[in-house]
C-alpha cells in the first residue's frame, strides 16, 4: 500500500467515524466520489472498529505466561554466590544441575550446583534449611558425594553445591556386568546408606540417577537428605514435596505421605537393585531377596539396609538367604502386574497433579484404584466436552484417544481374571468407542473402523465377564447395548446382523424371564429387532426384514413403532407388496404421526421438528411409491406428485433449520422423485440438479443415471453420456448400463448398445441370484431382457427378440413365487406377453413385419 | 547473578537520548535479560493461578533498572519505548520456539500433559499478530509503535503520546484505526495490505 493511499484512507476513516451512524453511508458515498475500492476499504475498516481489545491482549498475555513458565533462563556464564556456572548438566523435577567453578582466588574447584525450582517461603524455612545443611555437610563417606555449600539466590531460590561426580547411573553400569560383580557394587552402595542411617539421615529419594558409578567403578550417592531438606514440615508441606519424588522408586508409605523412616530407603534400594538386575536371568533365591526388600508393607521388609546387604552376601557365598519363601508367589504376581501398570500410573500422576488430585493419586496404590483414576481421567479429559473440544485440532484429539487406548490395552492385558478391573475396562472401551464414533461430524473413512475396534474390545471383555456371571443383569444389559451399537456402526455390512442377533440372545431371555415386566431389557430387544430389520432391508433381503419388523411391531405399542413402521414400508415395497407399503405409510401419515406430533409439539420443539421431517420422509416415500417410473410403482403419477410436493415443503423447511443434519439426503431423494415424475424435461433437470449435491453413495449414482433421461429428451446426448459414465464409475448398476445402451442405440451405435445391455443382463442375473427376494432387482433384470429383445426387434431378428421377451415374461410370471403381487407386475406381465406375441406374429410366414433380417454384432 | 546497576542503565539512557547511538546497543541486552529474568522468576513468587501481565513486567523492570531519583521524563519514555519493543521480541521468539518444538513431535505420541497444555495454546495467534504488525509497519511505522507501546508495553494514552511526541487525541485516533486494521487483517488473512 502506498503511503498516499493510506493517508487518504485514514483521513476518510476518521471523518466518517466522526459522523452520526445513520449519515455515514451517504457521507462515504459522496466523499469517495465513485472510487469504489476506497469505499470498500473504509467501510470494511469501520466494520472492524470495535471496542473489544481481547484479540490483541489475550495472545500477548498467553505468550507472557509461556515465557514465565519456561523452566529456567539459561544461567550459563552467570554468577550464583561465589560460583560461576559453566554448563548445564541436567534438568529434573526438583530443578537444574549445573557444572560450576568457585571463582575465589584461593582455589578453583569444579563443583556441581543444584538450583531448586521452589522457593523457601519463610524465615522458618530458611533457618531449618541452614540447620539441615549443616548436618548433611558432616556426612563424610567415600561413596557419598559431599555437600560443600549452599545458599539462596537473589530471588530466594535455594541452591546446593556438591562434589562434582563424573559417572553414570548404576543401572547403566548394570548392563555390562555379571550378577556377582553387580551385587558387590550394590553392597558398597548399601554400606554408604547404612553409614548415613547410623547418623539418622535418610536419603528419601534413592533412584538410579542418584547412584552414580565413576569410571573407576566407585559408587557415589548424590543428594543425600536433600528431599528432606526441601520438604519442610511434613504436615503442611507434604504435598508440595511430592512432585519431586520419583514414583517408581518411592515407597508406598512415602507416597501416602506417612512418616519416612530408614525402611523407605530399604524399599528404594530394593527397587534400584531390581532395575540394576533387569535383563539378567535372576535366580529365584535372589529374586526373593529383592522381593523382600521392596515389600509393600514396611514391617515385612528387611529391618535395615545392613540386613538387606547381609542377605545379598549370603546369596553371593551360596548360603541360604533369610528372605522368606512363602510370600513370594503371591507378591511376585502382584509385582509383575504393578510394574506394567506403573506406566499408566505415572502418566496419570502427571495428569492428576495438574487436576489437583495429588492426594488421591499418591494414596491409590492398588491396581483397582489406578483403574479408577484411569477412568476418572478419561472422564475428565476425554468425556468432559469442554476440555475435549478445547483440543482444537482433530489430531490432538486423536492422539489423546490413542494414548488412552494404549493404556487401556496395557491394563487389559494385565487384568485377566480380575472381574472388577475387566468390567471397568470394558466400560472405558465403550466410552472411548462412543467418542470415536462421534469424533467427526461427518464420519470420515476409518473413523467407524476405529470405533468398531473399541466396541469389539469392550464386547469381548463383557462376554468373558458374562460367561462367569450370567446372573448379573446389569452386565447383561451393558453387553447387549454394546452389541447393538456394533450392529448400528456396521451399517450394511453382513456382520451387523450377527451383532444384533447376539444382542438378542442376551437380552431376549432376560426380558422374558422378567415376565415381560423388565423394561430395562425391552429397549435392547426393540433396538436389536429394528436394527436387524434395517440391516436385512439394506442387505437386500426384504422378506426377512418384513418378518423381523412385523414380529417386533406386534409387540410394540403404536407410539413406539415409528422407525419400525417406516422401515416396514420400505421392506414391503422391496418385496413387491406396493399396496401393503402404501397402507403402512398412509396409516403413519393419517394416524401415528399427527397423534404423536400433537403430543410433543407443545413441549418439545426439537422433537416436533424431527417428527415433521419424518412426515416429510414418509410423504416422499409414498410419492415415489405411487408414481416414480424408476421404482416399482402404483402408476398414479398425479397422486405421487401431490405427495412429493408436500414432502418438499416439509423437508426444505427442516433442512433450512438444520443445515448439518443428515436428513438432507431425504430432501435429495424427494427432489430426485420430483425429477422422475415431472414430464417437462427442463423442469425435471432442475430437480435433479437440486438433488445431486444432497445425495451420496448409491443414491447419488442413481440420481445421475436418472438424469440422463431428461437430457436425452432434450437432445443433450453428450451430457447424458457423461452423467451415465460418472454414475457407472461410482457403481455399476443394471439401470445405468441399460440407460447407456439406450443412448448408444439412439446414437446409432448398436454394437455398443449390445455390449452394455449384455453387461446389464449378466449383472442383473448375478444380483437376482444373490438377492432372490429383492424384487426391484428382478424388475431391472426383466428390463434388461426387454432391451435386448428390442434391439433384436430393431434388427428384425424376431426369433431372438421373442426369446428375450420370453425371458422377461418368465420373470413376471414367476413374480409371486418370490415376491408379492401388485398392479405393477400384473401390468408388466401383460406387456411382456404382448411383446412375445408380437414377435411370434412377425415370425409367421406372410406377415407384414417379416422382411429382411439385419446383421447384429 | 548481579543485575546491571541502575546508574549504568540510567546513564546509557541519557547517553542515548543525548545522541549516542551505541548506548542503545549496550542497553538492549541488559533490558532484554532483565525482562526475561523477571518473567522466569515471576511464577515462583506468585500463586500458580495468578495471571502474569506482560505489561506488569515492564513496569517492574523499570523500577529495578532505572535510578528512581532521576525524575527526567524522557528517560522514562525512552525506557518504555525500548522495553515494549523488547517485550514484543521476547514473546515472539518464545512463540516461534514453542511452535518449532510442537512441530518437532513428529511421529512420537503426544504426551498427555503436552496435550493438556495445548488446550490454552495461542501461539499461532501471537505469530499472526506479529505478521500483521510487520505488515502495518511497512506503511505506517508510527501506528505499529503505538500498538507496541500500548499492548506490549502497557502504556496509557498520555505516556504513549509523550514517548512518540504527539498529542493524546492523536494517539486515540490513530490507535482506533490501527486496531481496526489489525482486526481486519487477523480475521481475514487473505486480505493483504496490497491494494
pLDDT of res. A823: 93
pLDDT of res. A809: 96
- The answer for A 674-693 residues in CB contact with B (under 8 A) is none
A720 & A742 share domain: yes
Of the ranges A441-445, A853-857, B97-101, which is most confident?
A: B97-101
Strand partners, A154: none
Helices (H), A658-749: 664-677, 681-691, 697-713, 717-730, 734-746
Of the ranges A14-28, A465-479, B148-162, B170-184, which is most confident?
A: B170-184
A153 & A197 share domain: no
pLDDT of res. A601: 60
CB contact under 8 A, A403 and B115: yes
Residue A297 three-state SS: coil
Q: What integer is the mean pLDDT of A601-609?
A: 65
Look-up of cell digits 464386547:
A459
Q: Which of A163, A194, A216 is the last residue of a domain?
A: A163
Q: What integer is the mean pLDDT of B167-186?
A: 93
pLDDT of res. A437: 64
A704 & A809 share domain: yes
The domain spanning residue A655 has which CATH number? 1.25.40.10
Judged against a pLDDT cut of 70, whether residue A339 lies above it is answered with no
Give the minimum alpha-carbon distance from B34 to chain A in angstroms, rounded to a whole number: 11
A734 & A784 share domain: yes
> Chain A residue closest to B194 (CA)?
A1
Q: What integer is the mean pLDDT of B137-150?
A: 91
Eight-state DSSP code of residue A694: G
The domain spanning residue A246 has which CATH number? 1.10.510.10
Look-up of cell digits 459414465:
A725
pLDDT band at A300 (very low <50, low <70, confident <90, very high): confident
**Residue A13 with chain B: CB contacts under 8 Å:** 177, 180
Q: What integer is the mean pLDDT of A169-185?
A: 86
Q: Which member of A62, A68, A399 has the closest CB to residue B40?
A: A68
pLDDT of res. B24: 72
- Kindly report, residue by residue over A131-166, the tens digit of the pLDDT: 767 777 778 899 998 888 888 777 667 788 888 888
Cα torsion A629, A631, A636, A637: sign: negative
- The answer for A 644-673 residues in CB contact with B (under 8 A) is none
Q: Side-chain half-sphere of B167: how many Cα atoms within 13 Å?
A: 3
- Per-residue CA distances from B171 to B73, B149, B175 (Å): 18, 11, 6
- Kindly report, residue by residue over A312-327, the tens digit of the pLDDT: 998 888 877 777 543 4
Q: Which member of A58, A72, A350 has the closest CB to residue B122?
A: A58
**Residue A46 with chain B: CB contacts under 8 Å:** 180
Is A598 among the domain residues? no
The helix (H) or strand (E) run that includes residue A515 is none
Strand A211-213 and strand A168-169: the pairing is: antiparallel
Burial of A479 (0-12, 13-18, 19+ CB in 10 A): buried
pLDDT of res. A124: 64
A347 touches chain B (CB under 8 A): yes
pLDDT of res. A454: 84
Q: What integer is the mean pLDDT of B121-131?
A: 83
Least confident of A433-447, A734-748, B177-191: A433-447
- Asked whether the beta carbons of A571 and A546 are under 8 A apart, the reply is yes
Least confident of A25-34, A341-350, A558-567, B65-74: A341-350
In what side-by-side order are the strands of the sheet with A168-169? A168-169, A211-213, A219-221
A700 & A806 share domain: yes
CB contact under 8 A, B123 and A63: yes
CB atoms within 10 A of CB A840: 16
A2 touches chain B (CB under 8 A): yes
pLDDT band at A615 (very low <50, low <70, confident <90, very high): confident
A259 touches chain B (CB under 8 A): no
Task: Between A548 and A253, name the one with better pLDDT.
Answer: A548
pLDDT of res. A80: 85
Task: For chain B, state the CA radius of gyration.
Answer: 19
CB contact under 8 A, B112 and A351: yes
How many contacts (CB atoms, under 8 Å) link A and B? 167
- Kindly report, residue by residue over A478-508, the tens digit of the pLDDT: 899 899 988 888 877 778 899 999 999 999 8
A263 & A128 share domain: no
CB contact under 8 A, B115 and A391: yes
A180 touches chain B (CB under 8 A): no
pLDDT of res. A29: 86
Judged against a pLDDT cut of 80, whether residue A252 lies above it is answered with no
Judged against a pLDDT cut of 70, whether residue A435 lies above it is answered with no
Least confident of A439-453, A499-513, A562-576, A645-659: A439-453
pLDDT of res. A376: 52
- Kindly report, residue by residue over A533-585, the tens digit of the pLDDT: 989 998 889 999 999 999 999 888 766 778 888 899 999 999 999 999 999 99
**Residue B95 with chain A: CB contacts under 8 Å:** 63, 66
Q: What integer is the mean pLDDT of A43-70?
A: 79
Is A464 among the domain residues? no
Q: What integer is the mean pLDDT of B31-43?
A: 64
Give the minimum alpha-carbon distance from A351 to chain B in angstroms, rounded to a whole number: 6
The domain spanning residue A109 has which CATH number? 3.30.200.20
A136 & A278 share domain: no
Q: Which of B35, B51, B58 is nearest to B155 (CA)?
A: B58
The domain spanning residue A571 has which CATH number? 1.25.40
A329 touches chain B (CB under 8 A): no
pLDDT band at A21 (very low <50, low <70, confident <90, very high): confident
A409 touches chain B (CB under 8 A): no
pLDDT of res. A586: 92
> Chain B residue closest to A351 (CA)?
B113
Of the ranges A333-342, A356-365, A515-524, A664-673, which is most confident?
A: A664-673
Phi/psi of residue A105, each to 5°?
Answer: -65, -30
pLDDT of res. A113: 87
- Asked whether the beta carbons of A712 and A720 are under 8 A apart, the reply is yes
Q: What integer is the mean pLDDT of A628-639?
A: 91
pLDDT band at A70 (very low <50, low <70, confident <90, very high): low
Q: Which member of B41, B54, B90 has the closest CB to residue A155?
A: B41
Judged against a pLDDT cut of 80, whether residue B67 lies above it is answered with no
pLDDT of res. A352: 30
**Residue B157 with chain A: CB contacts under 8 Å:** none
Among B56, B123, B181, which would you mutate to test the A interface (most chain A Cβ atoms within 10 Å of its Cβ)? B181
A354 touches chain B (CB under 8 A): yes
CB contact under 8 A, A13 and B186: no
- Asked whether the beta carbons of A251 and A263 are under 8 A apart, the reply is yes
Containing domain of residue A16, as a range?
A: 3-47
pLDDT of res. A110: 85
- Asked whether the beta carbons of A175 and A190 are under 8 A apart, the reply is no
Which grid coordinates belong to A407? 493404556
Judged against a pLDDT cut of 50, whether residue A439 lies above it is answered with no
pLDDT of res. A380: 46
- The answer for A 551-570 residues in CB contact with B (under 8 A) is none
- Kindly report, residue by residue over A683-721, the tens digit of the pLDDT: 999 999 999 988 888 889 999 999 999 999 999 999 999
Q: What integer is the mean pLDDT of A192-205?
A: 84
Is A431 among the domain residues? no
> Chain B residue closest to A404 (CA)?
B112
Is A397 among the domain residues? no
- The answer for A 137-166 residues in CB contact with B (under 8 A) is 153-157
- Kindly report, residue by residue over A207-247, the tens digit of the pLDDT: 888 899 988 889 999 877 666 665 543 323 323 233 334 55
DSSP string, A39-58: HHHHHHHHHT--S--HHHHH
A217 touches chain B (CB under 8 A): no
Judged against a pLDDT cut of 90, whether residue A848 lies above it is answered with no
Q: Which member of B115, B147, B194 has the closest CB to residue A1?
A: B194
> Chain A residue closest to B122 (CA)?
A59
Count the domains in chain A: 5
Backbone angle region of A318, left / alpha / beta, with phi > 0 → left and psi within -120 to 50 → alpha: left
Phi/psi of residue A112, each to 5°?
Answer: -105, 130
Task: Between A263 and A711, name the one with better pLDDT.
Answer: A711
Domains in chain B, ordered, with CATH? Answer: 1-118 (no CATH), 122-195 (1.10.10.10)
Give the minimum alpha-carbon distance from A79 to chain B in angstroms, rounded to a whole number: 5
Judged against a pLDDT cut of 60, whether residue A442 lies above it is answered with no
pLDDT of res. B110: 31
Total H helices, total E strands in chain B: 9, 0
Give the minimum alpha-carbon distance from B159 to chain A in angstroms, rounded to a whole number: 18
pLDDT of res. A105: 55
pLDDT band at A819 (very low <50, low <70, confident <90, very high): very high
Determine the Cα–Cα distance for residues A362 and A355; give it in Å rounded to an integer.
Answer: 13
**Residue B141 with chain A: CB contacts under 8 Å:** none
Q: What integer is the mean pLDDT of A61-69?
A: 68
Backbone angle region of A223, left / alpha / beta, with phi > 0 → left and psi within -120 to 50 → alpha: left
A78 touches chain B (CB under 8 A): yes
Q: Which of A304, A237, A209 is nearest to A266 (CA)?
A: A304
A11 & A155 share domain: no
pLDDT of res. A766: 92
A44 touches chain B (CB under 8 A): yes
pLDDT band at A346 (very low <50, low <70, confident <90, very high): very low
A476 & A540 share domain: yes
> Chain B residue closest to A387 (CA)?
B119
pLDDT of res. B120: 44
Q: In angstroms, how far is CA A176 from the centroid of its own chain?
A: 44
Q: Which member of A49, A64, A381 has the closest CB to residue B54?
A: A64
pLDDT band at A273 (very low <50, low <70, confident <90, very high): very high
Q: What integer is the mean pLDDT of A672-676?
A: 94
Give the minimum alpha-carbon distance from A461 to chain B in angstroms, rounded to a whole number: 26
Least confident of A25-34, A652-661, B170-179: A652-661
pTM of the model: 0.48
Judged against a pLDDT cut of 50, whether residue B69 lies above it is answered with yes
Is A216 among the domain residues? yes
Is A630 among the domain residues? no
A571 & A656 share domain: no
Which grid coordinates belong to A232? 519442610
> Chain B residue closest to A77 (CA)?
B1
Is A404 among the domain residues? no
- Kindly report, residue by residue over A384-413, the tens digit of the pLDDT: 444 444 444 455 556 666 666 766 676 666
A548 & A668 share domain: no
Q: Which of A101, A130, A163 is the last residue of a domain?
A: A163
CB contact under 8 A, B180 and A59: no
A686 & A785 share domain: yes
Is A706 among the domain residues? yes
Amino acid at each position: 500500500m502506498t503511503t498516499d493511499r493510506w493517508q487518504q484512507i485514514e483521513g476518510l476513516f476518521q471523518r466518517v467515524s466522526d459522523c452520526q451512524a445513520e449519515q455515514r453511508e451517504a457521507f462515504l458515498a459522496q466523499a469517495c466520489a465513485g472510487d469504489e475500492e476506497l469505499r470498500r476499504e473504509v467501510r470494511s475498516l469501520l466494520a472492524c472498529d470495535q471496542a473489544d481489545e481481547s484479540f490483541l491482549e489475550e495472545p500477548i498475555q498467553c505468550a507472557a505466561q509461556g515465557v514465565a513458565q519456561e523452566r529456567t533462563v539459561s544461567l550459563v556464564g552467570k554468577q550464583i554466590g561465589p560460583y560461576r556456572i559453566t554448563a548445564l548438566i541436567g534438568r529434573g523435577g526438583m530443578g537444574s544441575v549445573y557444572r560450576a567453578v568457585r571463582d575465589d582466588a584461593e582455589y578453583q574447584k569444579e563443583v556441581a550446583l543444584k538450583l531448586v525450582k521452589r522457593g523457601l517461603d519463610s524465615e522458618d524455612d530458611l533457618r531449618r534449611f541452614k540447620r539441615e545443611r549443616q548436618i548433611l555437610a558432616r556426612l563424610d563417606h567415600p561413596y557419598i558425594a559431599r555437600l560443600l555449600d549452599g545458599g539462596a539466590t537473589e530471588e530466594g531460590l535455594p541452591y546446593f553445591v556438591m562434589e562434582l561426580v563424573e559417572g553414570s547411573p548404576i543401572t547403566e553400569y548394570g548392563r555390562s556386568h555379571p550378577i556377582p560383580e553387580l551385587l558387590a557394587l550394590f553392597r558398597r552402595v548399601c554400606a554408604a546408606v547404612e553409614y548415613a542411617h547410623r547418623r539418622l539421615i535418610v536419603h528419601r529419594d534413592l533412584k538410579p540417577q542418584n547412584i552414580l558409578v565413576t569410571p573407576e567403578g566407585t559408587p557415589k550417592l548424590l543428594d543425600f537428605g536433600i528431599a528432606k531438606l526441601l520438604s519442610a514440615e511434613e504436615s503442611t508441606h507434604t504435598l508440595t514435596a511430592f512432585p519431586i519424588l520419583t514414583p517408581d522408586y518411592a515407597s508406598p508409605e512415602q507416597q501416602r505421605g506417612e512418616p519416612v523412616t530408614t525402611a523407605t530407603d530399604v524399599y528404594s534400594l530394593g527397587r534400584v537393585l531390581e532395575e540394576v538386575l533387569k535383563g539378567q536371568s535372576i535366580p529365584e533365591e535372589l529374586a526373593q531377596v529383592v522381593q523382600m526388600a521392596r515389600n509393600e508393607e514396611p514391617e515385612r521388609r528387611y529391618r535395615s539396609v545392613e540386613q538387606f546387604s547381609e542377605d545379598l552376601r549370603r546369596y553371593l557365598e551360596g548360603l541360604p538367604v533369610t528372605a522368606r519363601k512363602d510370600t513370594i508367589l503371591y507378591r511376585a504376581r502382584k509385582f509383575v502386574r504393578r510394574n506394567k501398570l506403573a506406566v499408566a500410573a505415572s502418566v496419570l500422576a502427571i495428569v492428576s497433579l495438574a487436576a489437583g488430585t495429588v492426594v488421591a493419586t499418591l494414596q491409590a496404590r492398588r491396581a483397582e484404584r489406578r483403574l479408577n483414576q484411569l477412568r476418572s481421567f478419561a472422564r475428565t479429559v476425554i468425556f468432559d466436552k469442554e476440555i475435549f473440544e478445547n483440543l482444537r485440532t482433530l489430531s490432538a484429539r486423536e492422539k489423546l484417544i490413542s494414548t488412552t487406548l494404549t493404556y487401556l490395552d496395557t491394563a487389559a492385558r494385565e487384568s485377566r481374571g480380575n472381574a472388577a478391573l475387566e468390567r471397568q475396562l470394558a466400560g472405558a472401551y465403550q466410552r472411548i468407542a462412543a467418542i470415536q464414533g462421534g469424533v467427526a461430524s461427518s464420519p470420515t473413512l476409518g473413523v467407524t473402523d476405529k470405533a468398531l475396534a473399541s466396541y469389539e474390545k469392550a464386547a469381548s471383555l463383557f462376554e468373558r465377564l458374562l460367561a462367569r456371571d450370567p446372573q448379573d443383569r446389569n452386565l447383561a444389559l451393558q453387553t447387549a447395548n454394546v452389541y447393538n451399537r456394533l450392529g448400528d456402526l456396521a451399517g450394511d455390512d453382513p456382520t451387523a446382523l450377527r451383532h444384533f442377533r447376539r444382542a438378542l440372545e442376551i437380552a431376549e431371555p432376560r426380558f422374558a424371564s422378567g415376565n415381560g415386566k423388565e423394561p430395562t431389557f425391552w429397549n435392547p430387544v426393540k433396538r436389536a429387532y429394528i436394527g436387524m430389520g434395517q440391516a436385512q432391508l439394506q442387505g437386500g433381503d426384504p422378506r426377512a426384514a418384513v418378518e423381523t419388523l412385523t414380529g417386533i411391531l406386534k409387540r410394540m405399542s403404536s407410539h413406539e413403532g415409528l422407525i419400525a413402521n417406516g422401515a416396514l414400508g420400505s421392506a414391503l415395497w422391496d418385496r413387491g407388496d406396493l399396496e401393503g407399503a402404501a397402507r403402512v405409510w398412509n396409516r403413519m401419515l393419517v394416524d401415528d404421526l399427527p397423534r404423536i406430533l400433537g403430543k410433543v409439539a407443545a413441549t418439545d420443539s426439537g422433537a416436533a421438528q424431527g417428527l415433521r421431517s419424518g412426515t416429510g420422509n414418509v410423504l416422499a416415500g409414498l410419492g415415489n411409491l405411487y408414481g416414480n417410473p424408476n421404482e416399482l410403482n402404483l402408476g398414479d403419477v398425479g397422486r405421487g406428485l401431490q405427495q412429493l410436493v408436500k414432502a418438499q415443503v416439509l423437508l426444505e423447511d427442516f433442512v433450512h433449520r438444520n443445515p448439518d443434519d443428515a436428513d438432507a439426503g431425504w430432501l435429495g431423494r424427494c427432489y430426485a422423485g420430483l425429477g422422475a415424475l415431472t414430464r417437462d424435461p427442463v423442469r425435471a433437470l432442475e430437480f435433479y440438479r437440486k438433488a445431486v449435491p444432497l445425495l451420496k453413495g448409491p443414491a447419488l449414482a442413481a440420481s445421475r443415471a436418472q438424469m440422463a433421461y431428461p437430457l436425452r429428451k432434450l437432445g443433450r446426448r453428450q451430457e447424458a453420456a457423461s452423467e451415465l459414465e460418472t454414475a457407472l464409475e461410482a457403481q455399476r448398476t443394471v439401470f445405468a448400463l441399460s440407460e447407456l445402451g439406450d443412448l448408444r442405440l439412439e446414437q446409432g451405435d448398436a454394437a455398443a448398445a449390445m455390449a452394455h445391455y449384455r453387461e446389464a443382463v449378466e449383472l442383473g442375473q448375478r444380483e437376482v441370484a444373490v438377492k432372490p427376494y429383492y424384487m426391484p432387482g428382478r424388475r431391472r433384470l426383466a428390463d434388461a431382457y426387454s432391451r435386448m429383445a428390442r434391439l433384436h426387434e430393431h434388427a428384425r431378428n424376431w426369433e431372438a427378440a421373442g426369446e428375450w421377451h420370453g425371458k422377461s415374461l418368465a420373470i413376471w410370471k414367476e413374480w409371486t413365487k418370490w415376491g408379492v403381487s401388485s398392479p405393477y407386475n400384473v401390468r408388466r406381465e401383460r406387456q411382456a406377453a404382448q411383446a412375445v406375441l408380437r414377435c411370434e406374429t412377425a415370425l409367421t410366414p406372410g406377415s407384414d413385419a417379416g422382411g429382411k433380417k439385419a446383421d447384429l454384432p | 547473578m548481579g543485575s546491571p546497576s541502575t546508574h549504568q542503565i540510567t546513564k546509557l539512557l541519557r547517553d542515548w537520548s543525548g545522541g549516542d547511538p551505541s548506548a542503545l546497543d549496550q542497553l538492549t541486552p541488559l533490558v532484554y535479560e532483565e525482562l526475561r529474568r523477571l518473567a522466569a522468576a515471576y511464577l515462583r513468587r506468585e500463586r500458580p493461578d495468578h495471571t502474569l501481565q506482560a505489561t506488569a513486567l515492564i513496569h517492574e523492570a523499570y523500577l529495578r533498572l532505572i535510578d528512581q531519583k532521576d525524575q527526567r521524563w524522557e528517560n522514562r519514555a525512552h525506557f518504555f519505548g525500548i522495553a515494549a519493543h523488547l517485550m514484543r521480541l521476547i514473546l515472539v521468539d518464545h512463540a516461534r520456539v514453542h511452535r518449532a518444538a510442537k512441530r518437532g513431535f513428529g511421529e512420537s505420541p503426544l504426551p498427555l500433559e503436552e496435550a493438556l497444555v495445548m488446550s490454552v495454546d495461542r501461539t499461532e495467534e501471537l505469530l499472526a499478530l506479529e505478521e500483521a504488525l510487520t505488515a502495518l509497519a511497512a506503511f505506517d511505522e508510527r501506528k505499529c509503535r503505538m500498538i507496541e507501546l500500548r499492548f506490549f508495553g502497557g502504556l496509557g494514552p498520555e505516556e504513549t503520546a509523550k514517548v512518540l511526541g504527539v498529542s493524546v487525541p492523536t494517539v486515540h485516533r490513530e490507535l482506533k484505526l490501527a486496531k481496526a486494521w489489525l482486526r481486519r487483517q487477523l480475521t481475514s488473512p487473505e486480505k493483504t495490505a496490497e491494494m
